[in-house]
Chains A and B, each alone.
Chain A
Amino acid sequence: MTNRLFRLCDKLLAIARKDFLTSIRYRSAFLMTGLGVVAELAAFYYLSRAIGPSFRPQGMGYFPFLLVGTGFYAFLMMGINSFLSSMQESQQSGTLEVLMTSRTSPATLIFLNAVSAFSRNVLRLLLYLAAGLVILSGVHLRYENLLAAAAAFILSVVIAVAIGIMTAAIQLGTHKGSAVMWLFGSVAWLMTGTMFPVTVLPKPLLWIAKLIPITHCLNALRFSLLSGGTLQGVGREIAILAAFSVVLLPSGLLIFSYMLKRARLEGTLSFY
Protein backbone atom coordinates (compact mmCIF):
# COMPACT_ATOMS: atom_id res chain seq x y z
CA MET A 1 0.00 0.00 0.00
CA THR A 2 2.79 2.43 1.00
CA ASN A 3 4.77 1.37 -2.04
CA ARG A 4 1.77 1.99 -4.29
CA LEU A 5 1.20 5.43 -2.78
CA PHE A 6 4.88 6.26 -3.20
CA ARG A 7 4.74 5.27 -6.88
CA LEU A 8 1.62 7.39 -7.35
CA CYS A 9 3.36 10.43 -5.80
CA ASP A 10 6.40 9.76 -7.97
CA LYS A 11 4.23 9.77 -11.09
CA LEU A 12 2.47 12.92 -9.95
CA LEU A 13 5.83 14.63 -9.49
CA ALA A 14 6.91 13.52 -12.97
CA ILE A 15 3.73 14.95 -14.52
CA ALA A 16 3.98 18.21 -12.53
CA ARG A 17 7.64 18.60 -13.53
CA LYS A 18 6.81 17.98 -17.20
CA ASP A 19 3.98 20.56 -17.06
CA PHE A 20 6.12 23.11 -15.22
CA LEU A 21 9.11 22.75 -17.56
CA THR A 22 6.85 23.00 -20.60
CA SER A 23 5.12 26.14 -19.31
CA ILE A 24 8.31 28.00 -18.37
CA ARG A 25 9.90 27.14 -21.68
CA TYR A 26 7.10 29.00 -23.44
CA ARG A 27 8.68 32.10 -21.90
CA SER A 28 6.46 34.81 -23.36
CA ALA A 29 3.21 32.96 -22.54
CA PHE A 30 4.39 32.51 -18.94
CA LEU A 31 5.01 36.26 -18.53
CA MET A 32 1.80 37.23 -20.34
CA THR A 33 -0.26 35.14 -17.93
CA GLY A 34 1.19 37.06 -14.98
CA LEU A 35 0.57 40.41 -16.66
CA GLY A 36 -2.95 39.30 -17.57
CA VAL A 37 -3.81 38.71 -13.89
CA VAL A 38 -2.62 42.21 -12.94
CA ALA A 39 -4.58 43.80 -15.80
CA GLU A 40 -7.73 41.87 -14.86
CA LEU A 41 -7.50 42.94 -11.21
CA ALA A 42 -7.05 46.59 -12.20
CA ALA A 43 -10.03 46.41 -14.58
CA PHE A 44 -12.32 44.97 -11.87
CA TYR A 45 -11.13 47.49 -9.30
CA TYR A 46 -11.95 50.45 -11.54
CA LEU A 47 -15.20 48.84 -12.71
CA SER A 48 -16.41 48.53 -9.12
CA ARG A 49 -15.34 52.13 -8.40
CA ALA A 50 -17.22 53.34 -11.47
CA ILE A 51 -20.38 51.47 -10.38
CA GLY A 52 -20.07 52.96 -6.91
CA PRO A 53 -20.42 51.63 -3.33
CA SER A 54 -24.24 51.63 -3.37
CA PHE A 55 -24.38 48.47 -5.52
CA ARG A 56 -23.94 45.63 -3.01
CA PRO A 57 -24.92 42.27 -4.56
CA GLN A 58 -25.94 39.75 -1.85
CA GLY A 59 -24.87 42.37 0.72
CA MET A 60 -21.23 42.36 -0.41
CA GLY A 61 -19.03 45.04 -1.93
CA TYR A 62 -19.04 44.70 -5.71
CA PHE A 63 -15.24 44.46 -6.03
CA PRO A 64 -14.84 41.47 -3.68
CA PHE A 65 -18.01 39.94 -5.24
CA LEU A 66 -16.37 40.17 -8.67
CA LEU A 67 -13.01 38.95 -7.39
CA VAL A 68 -14.31 35.78 -5.81
CA GLY A 69 -16.70 35.13 -8.71
CA THR A 70 -14.22 35.59 -11.52
CA GLY A 71 -11.25 34.19 -9.58
CA PHE A 72 -12.94 30.89 -8.82
CA TYR A 73 -14.80 30.75 -12.14
CA ALA A 74 -11.48 31.12 -13.99
CA PHE A 75 -9.81 28.59 -11.68
CA LEU A 76 -12.51 25.97 -12.22
CA MET A 77 -12.82 26.56 -15.96
CA MET A 78 -9.05 26.49 -16.46
CA GLY A 79 -8.94 23.22 -14.53
CA ILE A 80 -11.76 21.74 -16.62
CA ASN A 81 -10.18 22.99 -19.82
CA SER A 82 -6.82 21.48 -18.91
CA PHE A 83 -8.31 17.97 -19.31
CA LEU A 84 -9.51 18.86 -22.78
CA SER A 85 -6.31 20.59 -23.86
CA SER A 86 -4.11 17.84 -22.48
CA MET A 87 -6.20 15.26 -24.39
CA GLN A 88 -6.07 17.35 -27.59
CA GLU A 89 -2.33 17.97 -27.29
CA SER A 90 -1.55 14.33 -26.66
CA GLN A 91 -3.71 13.29 -29.65
CA GLN A 92 -2.01 15.83 -31.89
CA SER A 93 1.53 15.05 -30.74
CA GLY A 94 0.98 11.30 -30.75
CA THR A 95 1.83 10.91 -27.07
CA LEU A 96 -1.67 9.63 -26.24
CA GLU A 97 -1.03 6.24 -27.81
CA VAL A 98 2.28 5.92 -25.97
CA LEU A 99 0.68 6.90 -22.66
CA MET A 100 -2.12 4.40 -23.20
CA THR A 101 0.40 1.58 -23.52
CA SER A 102 2.33 2.54 -20.37
CA ARG A 103 2.06 0.66 -17.09
CA THR A 104 -0.03 3.49 -15.65
CA SER A 105 -3.74 2.92 -16.18
CA PRO A 106 -5.73 5.54 -18.14
CA ALA A 107 -7.82 6.38 -15.04
CA THR A 108 -4.69 7.00 -12.94
CA LEU A 109 -3.17 9.07 -15.72
CA ILE A 110 -6.19 11.30 -16.00
CA PHE A 111 -6.40 11.70 -12.22
CA LEU A 112 -2.72 12.67 -11.91
CA ASN A 113 -2.98 15.10 -14.81
CA ALA A 114 -5.91 16.71 -13.02
CA VAL A 115 -4.01 17.12 -9.78
CA SER A 116 -1.10 18.69 -11.64
CA ALA A 117 -3.37 21.05 -13.58
CA PHE A 118 -5.28 22.19 -10.50
CA SER A 119 -2.12 22.66 -8.42
CA ARG A 120 -0.73 24.91 -11.16
CA ASN A 121 -3.88 27.01 -11.13
CA VAL A 122 -4.09 27.17 -7.33
CA LEU A 123 -1.02 29.41 -7.22
CA ARG A 124 -2.59 31.80 -9.72
CA LEU A 125 -5.85 31.80 -7.74
CA LEU A 126 -4.14 32.45 -4.42
CA LEU A 127 -2.16 35.38 -5.85
CA TYR A 128 -5.31 36.74 -7.43
CA LEU A 129 -7.36 36.50 -4.24
CA ALA A 130 -4.58 37.69 -1.96
CA ALA A 131 -3.92 40.73 -4.11
CA GLY A 132 -7.59 41.52 -4.52
CA LEU A 133 -9.16 40.68 -1.17
CA VAL A 134 -6.46 41.44 1.33
CA ILE A 135 -4.55 44.27 -0.34
CA LEU A 136 -7.17 46.12 -2.38
CA SER A 137 -10.38 45.63 -0.41
CA GLY A 138 -9.00 44.92 3.07
CA VAL A 139 -11.24 41.92 3.77
CA HIS A 140 -10.18 39.99 6.91
CA LEU A 141 -10.76 36.28 7.00
CA ARG A 142 -11.40 34.22 10.13
CA TYR A 143 -10.50 30.57 10.74
CA GLU A 144 -14.15 29.40 10.67
CA ASN A 145 -14.70 31.10 7.33
CA LEU A 146 -11.62 29.42 5.91
CA LEU A 147 -12.87 26.02 7.02
CA ALA A 148 -16.17 26.54 5.22
CA ALA A 149 -14.35 27.94 2.18
CA ALA A 150 -11.96 24.95 2.16
CA ALA A 151 -14.88 22.48 2.23
CA ALA A 152 -16.61 24.30 -0.63
CA PHE A 153 -13.31 24.56 -2.50
CA ILE A 154 -12.49 20.84 -2.25
CA LEU A 155 -15.96 19.84 -3.43
CA SER A 156 -15.76 22.37 -6.26
CA VAL A 157 -12.48 20.85 -7.40
CA VAL A 158 -14.00 17.34 -7.32
CA ILE A 159 -16.89 18.60 -9.48
CA ALA A 160 -14.48 20.36 -11.87
CA VAL A 161 -12.44 17.14 -12.15
CA ALA A 162 -15.60 15.21 -13.00
CA ILE A 163 -16.64 17.73 -15.66
CA GLY A 164 -13.04 17.79 -16.95
CA ILE A 165 -13.03 14.00 -17.34
CA MET A 166 -16.32 14.30 -19.27
CA THR A 167 -14.85 16.90 -21.64
CA ALA A 168 -11.83 14.64 -22.22
CA ALA A 169 -14.27 11.80 -22.98
CA ILE A 170 -16.18 14.05 -25.39
CA GLN A 171 -12.89 14.89 -27.12
CA LEU A 172 -12.19 11.15 -27.48
CA GLY A 173 -15.68 10.52 -28.85
CA THR A 174 -16.29 13.55 -31.06
CA HIS A 175 -12.73 14.86 -31.63
CA LYS A 176 -14.10 18.36 -31.11
CA GLY A 177 -14.40 18.78 -27.36
CA SER A 178 -13.48 22.46 -27.65
CA ALA A 179 -16.91 23.25 -29.13
CA VAL A 180 -18.65 21.67 -26.12
CA MET A 181 -16.24 23.42 -23.76
CA TRP A 182 -16.93 26.78 -25.41
CA LEU A 183 -20.68 26.26 -25.04
CA PHE A 184 -20.37 25.15 -21.41
CA GLY A 185 -18.04 28.05 -20.57
CA SER A 186 -20.36 30.64 -22.13
CA VAL A 187 -23.46 29.28 -20.40
CA ALA A 188 -21.61 29.06 -17.08
CA TRP A 189 -20.26 32.61 -17.46
CA LEU A 190 -23.77 33.94 -17.98
CA MET A 191 -25.72 31.86 -15.50
CA THR A 192 -23.54 31.01 -12.51
CA GLY A 193 -23.37 34.48 -11.02
CA THR A 194 -19.78 35.22 -11.93
CA MET A 195 -20.32 38.94 -12.64
CA PHE A 196 -23.79 39.53 -11.15
CA PRO A 197 -26.10 37.72 -8.72
CA VAL A 198 -28.18 34.98 -10.37
CA THR A 199 -31.30 36.39 -8.69
CA VAL A 200 -31.57 39.00 -11.46
CA LEU A 201 -32.07 36.24 -14.05
CA PRO A 202 -35.60 35.42 -15.28
CA LYS A 203 -37.17 32.45 -13.50
CA PRO A 204 -36.55 29.75 -16.17
CA LEU A 205 -32.90 30.75 -16.40
CA LEU A 206 -32.64 30.87 -12.63
CA TRP A 207 -33.74 27.22 -12.54
CA ILE A 208 -31.10 26.30 -15.09
CA ALA A 209 -28.53 28.26 -13.06
CA LYS A 210 -29.37 26.14 -10.02
CA LEU A 211 -28.68 22.99 -12.03
CA ILE A 212 -25.13 24.14 -12.79
CA PRO A 213 -22.81 23.14 -9.93
CA ILE A 214 -20.55 26.18 -10.40
CA THR A 215 -23.43 28.43 -9.23
CA HIS A 216 -23.37 26.66 -5.85
CA CYS A 217 -19.55 26.69 -5.76
CA LEU A 218 -19.48 30.46 -6.15
CA ASN A 219 -22.34 30.99 -3.65
CA ALA A 220 -20.63 28.90 -0.98
CA LEU A 221 -17.23 30.51 -1.54
CA ARG A 222 -18.62 34.05 -1.52
CA PHE A 223 -20.62 33.52 1.65
CA SER A 224 -17.75 31.90 3.49
CA LEU A 225 -15.04 34.31 2.34
CA LEU A 226 -16.98 37.59 2.22
CA SER A 227 -19.98 37.32 4.54
CA GLY A 228 -18.38 35.41 7.40
CA GLY A 229 -20.35 32.26 6.61
CA THR A 230 -19.32 29.27 8.73
CA LEU A 231 -19.54 25.58 7.83
CA GLN A 232 -23.08 25.45 9.20
CA GLY A 233 -24.00 28.69 7.46
CA VAL A 234 -23.16 27.33 4.04
CA GLY A 235 -24.30 23.80 4.94
CA ARG A 236 -27.05 23.72 2.32
CA GLU A 237 -24.69 24.69 -0.50
CA ILE A 238 -22.08 22.20 0.75
CA ALA A 239 -24.71 19.43 0.74
CA ILE A 240 -25.71 20.31 -2.83
CA LEU A 241 -22.05 20.31 -3.90
CA ALA A 242 -21.49 16.94 -2.20
CA ALA A 243 -24.50 15.50 -4.04
CA PHE A 244 -23.18 16.81 -7.38
CA SER A 245 -19.76 15.28 -6.60
CA VAL A 246 -21.22 11.87 -5.76
CA VAL A 247 -23.17 11.79 -9.03
CA LEU A 248 -20.73 13.48 -11.41
CA LEU A 249 -17.40 11.84 -10.54
CA PRO A 250 -18.41 8.19 -11.11
CA SER A 251 -20.45 9.27 -14.16
CA GLY A 252 -17.39 11.05 -15.60
CA LEU A 253 -15.20 8.00 -15.08
CA LEU A 254 -17.81 5.70 -16.61
CA ILE A 255 -18.26 7.90 -19.66
CA PHE A 256 -14.48 8.19 -20.10
CA SER A 257 -14.00 4.46 -19.81
CA TYR A 258 -16.80 3.84 -22.36
CA MET A 259 -15.38 6.38 -24.83
CA LEU A 260 -11.87 4.94 -24.44
CA LYS A 261 -13.12 1.43 -25.18
CA ARG A 262 -15.09 2.72 -28.16
CA ALA A 263 -12.02 4.56 -29.50
CA ARG A 264 -9.97 1.37 -29.16
CA LEU A 265 -12.61 -0.61 -31.02
CA GLU A 266 -13.02 1.95 -33.79
CA GLY A 267 -9.32 2.78 -34.03
CA THR A 268 -9.94 6.49 -33.43
CA LEU A 269 -7.80 6.97 -30.31
CA SER A 270 -5.46 9.44 -31.96
CA PHE A 271 -8.01 11.10 -34.28
CA TYR A 272 -8.50 14.84 -33.79
Chain B
Amino acid sequence: MGGIVFESVSKRFRHRPVLFNWIGKERGGETRAIDAVSFSAPPGRVLVLLGPNGSGKTTTLKLISTLLLPDSGRILLAEADTRIDSTRARRDVGFAVANERSFFPRLSGRENLDFFAALEDVPRDQRPKRIRWALGMVGLHSDSDTLVMKFSSGMYQRLAIARALLKDPAILLLDEPTRSLDPASAMQFWKLVRSLSEQGKTVLLATHNFSEAVSVGDSVVILRHGKVVGRKDLRSETAERLRSFYFQATGEAEEEMVLAAGA
Protein backbone atom coordinates (compact mmCIF):
# COMPACT_ATOMS: atom_id res chain seq x y z
CA MET B 1 0.00 0.00 0.00
CA GLY B 2 1.34 3.43 -0.89
CA GLY B 3 1.11 6.82 0.70
CA ILE B 4 1.47 10.20 -0.94
CA VAL B 5 4.21 12.76 -0.29
CA PHE B 6 3.70 16.14 -1.91
CA GLU B 7 6.89 18.15 -1.47
CA SER B 8 7.08 21.91 -2.22
CA VAL B 9 5.14 21.45 -5.44
CA SER B 10 4.43 24.44 -7.64
CA LYS B 11 2.44 24.62 -10.84
CA ARG B 12 1.79 27.61 -13.07
CA PHE B 13 -0.43 27.84 -16.14
CA ARG B 14 0.60 30.27 -18.82
CA HIS B 15 -1.99 32.15 -20.86
CA ARG B 16 -0.88 32.78 -24.40
CA PRO B 17 -3.23 35.11 -26.25
CA VAL B 18 -3.36 34.37 -29.96
CA LEU B 19 -3.60 36.55 -33.06
CA PHE B 20 -6.01 39.50 -33.19
CA ASN B 21 -6.24 39.58 -29.40
CA TRP B 22 -7.30 43.23 -29.62
CA ILE B 23 -10.68 41.97 -30.90
CA GLY B 24 -11.45 39.50 -28.11
CA LYS B 25 -9.11 40.52 -25.25
CA GLU B 26 -7.98 37.10 -24.03
CA ARG B 27 -5.94 37.47 -20.86
CA GLY B 28 -2.18 36.96 -20.90
CA GLY B 29 0.32 36.27 -18.13
CA GLU B 30 0.10 33.24 -15.93
CA THR B 31 -1.91 31.69 -13.12
CA ARG B 32 -0.08 30.26 -10.15
CA ALA B 33 -2.33 27.24 -9.52
CA ILE B 34 -0.21 25.62 -6.81
CA ASP B 35 2.51 27.45 -4.91
CA ALA B 36 5.05 25.45 -2.88
CA VAL B 37 2.40 23.10 -1.50
CA SER B 38 3.53 20.32 0.82
CA PHE B 39 1.56 17.62 2.61
CA SER B 40 1.61 13.89 3.09
CA ALA B 41 -1.11 11.26 3.21
CA PRO B 42 -0.07 7.99 4.83
CA PRO B 43 -1.62 4.65 3.82
CA GLY B 44 -4.99 3.90 5.40
CA ARG B 45 -5.86 7.58 5.88
CA VAL B 46 -8.35 9.94 4.25
CA LEU B 47 -6.90 13.38 3.58
CA VAL B 48 -9.38 16.07 2.62
CA LEU B 49 -8.46 19.03 0.42
CA LEU B 50 -10.79 21.87 1.25
CA GLY B 51 -10.97 25.21 -0.50
CA PRO B 52 -13.04 27.47 -2.72
CA ASN B 53 -13.16 27.20 -6.52
CA GLY B 54 -9.78 27.91 -8.07
CA SER B 55 -7.88 27.15 -4.88
CA GLY B 56 -5.85 24.36 -6.56
CA LYS B 57 -7.65 21.21 -5.37
CA THR B 58 -8.20 19.63 -8.80
CA THR B 59 -4.71 20.68 -9.94
CA THR B 60 -3.29 18.87 -6.92
CA LEU B 61 -5.20 15.68 -7.79
CA LYS B 62 -4.16 15.92 -11.45
CA LEU B 63 -0.52 16.33 -10.43
CA ILE B 64 -0.69 13.17 -8.32
CA SER B 65 -2.32 11.22 -11.15
CA THR B 66 0.41 12.53 -13.56
CA LEU B 67 -2.15 14.18 -15.81
CA LEU B 68 -0.08 17.25 -15.04
CA LEU B 69 3.66 17.50 -14.42
CA PRO B 70 4.92 19.84 -11.68
CA ASP B 71 7.09 22.87 -12.51
CA SER B 72 9.04 22.33 -9.31
CA GLY B 73 9.01 20.15 -6.23
CA ARG B 74 8.34 16.43 -6.23
CA ILE B 75 5.52 14.00 -5.71
CA LEU B 76 6.24 10.57 -4.25
CA LEU B 77 3.82 7.67 -4.47
CA ALA B 78 5.00 4.80 -2.26
CA GLU B 79 8.42 6.50 -2.35
CA ALA B 80 8.58 6.57 -6.16
CA ASP B 81 8.93 9.97 -7.87
CA THR B 82 6.06 10.44 -10.38
CA ARG B 83 8.29 12.39 -12.77
CA ILE B 84 10.62 9.42 -13.06
CA ASP B 85 8.15 6.57 -12.72
CA SER B 86 4.73 7.51 -14.08
CA THR B 87 3.93 3.81 -14.55
CA ARG B 88 3.52 3.46 -10.80
CA ALA B 89 1.01 6.30 -10.73
CA ARG B 90 -0.99 4.66 -13.52
CA ARG B 91 -0.86 1.36 -11.65
CA ASP B 92 -1.59 2.54 -8.11
CA VAL B 93 -3.85 5.54 -8.54
CA GLY B 94 -7.60 5.46 -9.16
CA PHE B 95 -8.93 8.88 -10.09
CA ALA B 96 -12.66 9.70 -10.03
CA VAL B 97 -12.51 12.84 -12.17
CA ALA B 98 -14.95 15.68 -11.69
CA ASN B 99 -15.91 15.63 -15.40
CA GLU B 100 -19.14 13.68 -15.26
CA ARG B 101 -19.31 12.94 -18.95
CA SER B 102 -16.01 11.15 -19.31
CA PHE B 103 -17.68 8.02 -20.69
CA PHE B 104 -18.63 6.60 -24.06
CA PRO B 105 -22.24 7.76 -24.42
CA ARG B 106 -23.40 4.96 -26.74
CA LEU B 107 -22.24 2.22 -24.37
CA SER B 108 -24.12 1.08 -21.29
CA GLY B 109 -22.73 1.56 -17.79
CA ARG B 110 -21.61 -2.05 -17.70
CA GLU B 111 -20.04 -1.90 -21.18
CA ASN B 112 -18.15 1.27 -20.22
CA LEU B 113 -16.81 -0.37 -17.07
CA ASP B 114 -15.88 -3.51 -19.02
CA PHE B 115 -13.86 -1.40 -21.45
CA PHE B 116 -12.03 0.51 -18.72
CA ALA B 117 -11.48 -2.69 -16.72
CA ALA B 118 -9.69 -4.24 -19.71
CA LEU B 119 -7.40 -1.22 -19.94
CA GLU B 120 -6.76 -1.45 -16.19
CA ASP B 121 -5.52 -5.05 -16.62
CA VAL B 122 -8.37 -6.57 -14.62
CA PRO B 123 -8.21 -10.26 -15.67
CA ARG B 124 -10.96 -11.25 -18.10
CA ASP B 125 -12.41 -13.97 -15.85
CA GLN B 126 -12.59 -11.61 -12.84
CA ARG B 127 -14.11 -8.71 -14.74
CA PRO B 128 -17.85 -9.52 -14.47
CA LYS B 129 -17.53 -10.06 -10.72
CA ARG B 130 -15.48 -6.90 -10.17
CA ILE B 131 -17.89 -4.83 -12.29
CA ARG B 132 -20.88 -6.21 -10.40
CA TRP B 133 -19.14 -5.34 -7.12
CA ALA B 134 -18.27 -1.79 -8.24
CA LEU B 135 -21.79 -1.16 -9.58
CA GLY B 136 -23.26 -2.51 -6.34
CA MET B 137 -20.99 -0.24 -4.27
CA VAL B 138 -22.38 2.87 -5.96
CA GLY B 139 -25.96 1.62 -6.23
CA LEU B 140 -26.09 1.44 -10.01
CA HIS B 141 -26.89 -2.24 -10.44
CA SER B 142 -30.39 -1.82 -11.80
CA ASP B 143 -29.28 0.78 -14.38
CA SER B 144 -26.13 -0.98 -15.48
CA ASP B 145 -27.50 -1.89 -18.94
CA THR B 146 -28.79 1.61 -19.72
CA LEU B 147 -26.78 3.62 -22.28
CA VAL B 148 -24.88 6.22 -20.28
CA MET B 149 -26.11 9.04 -22.53
CA LYS B 150 -29.42 8.54 -20.73
CA PHE B 151 -27.84 8.86 -17.26
CA SER B 152 -28.53 11.74 -14.88
CA SER B 153 -25.64 13.77 -13.40
CA GLY B 154 -25.77 11.74 -10.19
CA MET B 155 -25.61 8.46 -12.11
CA TYR B 156 -22.61 9.69 -14.10
CA GLN B 157 -20.89 10.57 -10.87
CA ARG B 158 -21.58 7.17 -9.34
CA LEU B 159 -20.30 5.46 -12.46
CA ALA B 160 -17.10 7.53 -12.27
CA ILE B 161 -16.58 6.34 -8.70
CA ALA B 162 -17.25 2.71 -9.75
CA ARG B 163 -14.66 3.12 -12.51
CA ALA B 164 -12.05 4.42 -10.08
CA LEU B 165 -12.65 1.39 -7.83
CA LEU B 166 -12.30 -1.14 -10.68
CA LYS B 167 -8.54 -1.53 -10.52
CA ASP B 168 -8.54 -1.81 -6.75
CA PRO B 169 -6.12 1.13 -6.43
CA ALA B 170 -3.81 1.66 -3.48
CA ILE B 171 -4.44 5.41 -3.79
CA LEU B 172 -7.87 6.82 -4.54
CA LEU B 173 -8.32 10.40 -5.72
CA LEU B 174 -11.85 11.77 -5.48
CA ASP B 175 -12.71 15.16 -6.95
CA GLU B 176 -15.93 16.47 -5.41
CA PRO B 177 -17.35 12.94 -5.45
CA THR B 178 -20.76 13.71 -3.96
CA ARG B 179 -21.45 16.98 -5.78
CA SER B 180 -24.42 15.55 -7.71
CA LEU B 181 -25.50 12.85 -5.26
CA ASP B 182 -28.63 12.97 -3.14
CA PRO B 183 -28.05 13.02 0.66
CA ALA B 184 -28.74 9.30 1.19
CA SER B 185 -26.38 8.28 -1.63
CA ALA B 186 -23.75 10.69 -0.31
CA MET B 187 -23.90 9.11 3.16
CA GLN B 188 -23.66 5.63 1.67
CA PHE B 189 -20.64 6.80 -0.32
CA TRP B 190 -18.93 8.21 2.80
CA LYS B 191 -19.29 4.78 4.44
CA LEU B 192 -17.67 3.22 1.38
CA VAL B 193 -14.73 5.66 1.58
CA ARG B 194 -14.24 4.88 5.28
CA SER B 195 -14.26 1.15 4.62
CA LEU B 196 -11.70 1.58 1.82
CA SER B 197 -9.36 3.49 4.11
CA GLU B 198 -9.77 0.79 6.77
CA GLN B 199 -8.54 -1.67 4.13
CA GLY B 200 -5.32 0.37 3.98
CA LYS B 201 -6.03 2.53 0.95
CA THR B 202 -4.89 6.15 0.85
CA VAL B 203 -7.75 8.45 -0.06
CA LEU B 204 -7.41 12.06 -1.14
CA LEU B 205 -10.73 13.82 -1.40
CA ALA B 206 -11.30 17.34 -2.74
CA THR B 207 -14.48 19.02 -1.59
CA HIS B 208 -16.24 22.24 -0.60
CA ASN B 209 -18.48 20.39 1.79
CA PHE B 210 -17.72 20.63 5.55
CA SER B 211 -20.06 17.72 6.48
CA GLU B 212 -18.37 15.51 3.92
CA ALA B 213 -14.93 16.51 5.19
CA VAL B 214 -15.68 15.58 8.81
CA SER B 215 -17.64 12.45 7.85
CA VAL B 216 -14.83 10.82 5.92
CA GLY B 217 -11.61 12.69 6.65
CA ASP B 218 -8.82 11.90 9.08
CA SER B 219 -7.18 15.24 8.40
CA VAL B 220 -7.72 18.30 6.23
CA VAL B 221 -5.48 20.62 4.24
CA ILE B 222 -7.04 23.97 3.44
CA LEU B 223 -6.02 25.62 0.21
CA ARG B 224 -6.55 29.17 -0.95
CA HIS B 225 -5.10 30.72 -4.14
CA GLY B 226 -2.85 27.67 -4.51
CA LYS B 227 -1.33 27.89 -1.04
CA VAL B 228 -1.82 25.85 2.10
CA VAL B 229 -3.45 28.15 4.64
CA GLY B 230 -4.40 25.60 7.28
CA ARG B 231 -4.17 21.97 8.42
CA LYS B 232 -6.22 20.14 10.99
CA ASP B 233 -6.77 16.70 12.40
CA LEU B 234 -10.42 15.80 11.82
CA ARG B 235 -10.92 12.71 13.93
CA SER B 236 -12.88 14.47 16.66
CA GLU B 237 -14.15 17.47 14.70
CA THR B 238 -17.64 18.64 13.90
CA ALA B 239 -18.70 20.36 10.68
CA GLU B 240 -19.42 23.54 12.64
CA ARG B 241 -15.94 23.70 14.22
CA LEU B 242 -14.32 22.96 10.86
CA ARG B 243 -16.35 25.74 9.29
CA SER B 244 -15.06 28.25 11.91
CA PHE B 245 -11.50 27.02 11.46
CA TYR B 246 -11.81 27.31 7.69
CA PHE B 247 -12.94 30.92 7.74
CA GLN B 248 -10.29 31.79 10.29
CA ALA B 249 -7.59 30.16 8.15
CA THR B 250 -8.66 31.61 4.83
CA GLY B 251 -9.72 34.99 6.08
CA GLU B 252 -12.71 34.75 3.75
CA ALA B 253 -16.11 36.10 4.63
CA GLU B 254 -18.55 33.24 5.21
CA GLU B 255 -20.95 34.52 2.50
CA GLU B 256 -18.09 34.46 0.00
CA MET B 257 -17.53 30.74 0.65
CA VAL B 258 -21.22 29.95 0.32
CA LEU B 259 -21.31 31.73 -3.04
CA ALA B 260 -18.08 30.07 -4.22
CA ALA B 261 -19.35 26.62 -3.31
CA GLY B 262 -22.65 27.28 -5.05
CA ALA B 263 -24.41 26.13 -1.90
Could you tell me the distance in whole angstroms from the C-beta of B177 to the nearest C-beta in chain A?
A: 15
| Distance in angstroms between the alpha carbons of A101 and B164 in the assembled complex | 10
Q: Are B90 and A7 in contact (CB under 8 A)?
A: no
Q: Are B116 and A98 in contact (CB under 8 A)?
A: yes
B146 at the interface (CB under 8 A from A): no
A40 at the interface (CB under 8 A from B): no
Contact partner of B118 (CB less than 8 A), chosen from A14, A21, A261, is A14
> With a CB–CB cut-off of 8 A, which chain A residues contact B103?
93, 95
B241 at the interface (CB under 8 A from A): no
B104 at the interface (CB under 8 A from A): yes
B9 at the interface (CB under 8 A from A): no
Q: Are B120 and A102 in contact (CB under 8 A)?
A: yes
B25 at the interface (CB under 8 A from A): no
Q: Are B121 and A7 in contact (CB under 8 A)?
A: yes
Q: Are A21 and B107 in contact (CB under 8 A)?
A: yes
What is the size category of the interface that chain B forms with chain A?
35 or more
> With a CB–CB cut-off of 8 A, which chain A residues contact B93?
101
Q: Are A102 and B90 in contact (CB under 8 A)?
A: yes
| Distance in angstroms between the alpha carbons of A95 and B148 in the assembled complex | 13
Q: Are A93 and B105 in contact (CB under 8 A)?
A: yes
Q: Are A103 and B106 in contact (CB under 8 A)?
A: no
> With a CB–CB cut-off of 8 A, which chain B residues contact A25?
106, 147
Q: Are A21 and B111 in contact (CB under 8 A)?
A: yes
Contact partner of A10 (CB less than 8 A), chosen from B14, B99, B105, B124, is B124
> With a CB–CB cut-off of 8 A, which chain B residues contact A26?
106
> With a CB–CB cut-off of 8 A, which chain B residues contact A102?
90, 116, 119-120, 167
Q: Known interface pairs A14-B114, A95-B102, A101-B67. Does A267 touch B119 (Cβ–Cβ under 8 Å)?
A: no
| Distance in angstroms between the alpha carbons of A261 and B66 in the assembled complex | 10
B247 at the interface (CB under 8 A from A): no
| Distance in angstroms between the alpha carbons of A97 and B105 in the assembled complex | 16
The 5 closest A-B pairs by CB, nearest first: A14-B118, A94-B102, A94-B99, A25-B106, A102-B119
Pairs A–B under 8 Å by Cβ, sample size 5: A22-B107, A98-B163, A101-B89, A101-B90, A104-B120
Taking A18-B111, A21-B107, A102-B167 as known contacts, 9 extra A-B pairs with beta carbons closer than 8 A to each other, sorted by chain A number, are: A98-B97, A98-B163, A99-B119, A101-B93, A102-B120, A104-B120, A105-B90, A264-B69, A269-B68
A contact residues vs B (CB 8 Å cutoff)? 7, 10-11, 13-15, 17-18, 21-22, 25-26, 93-95, 97-105, 109, 261, 264-267, 269-270
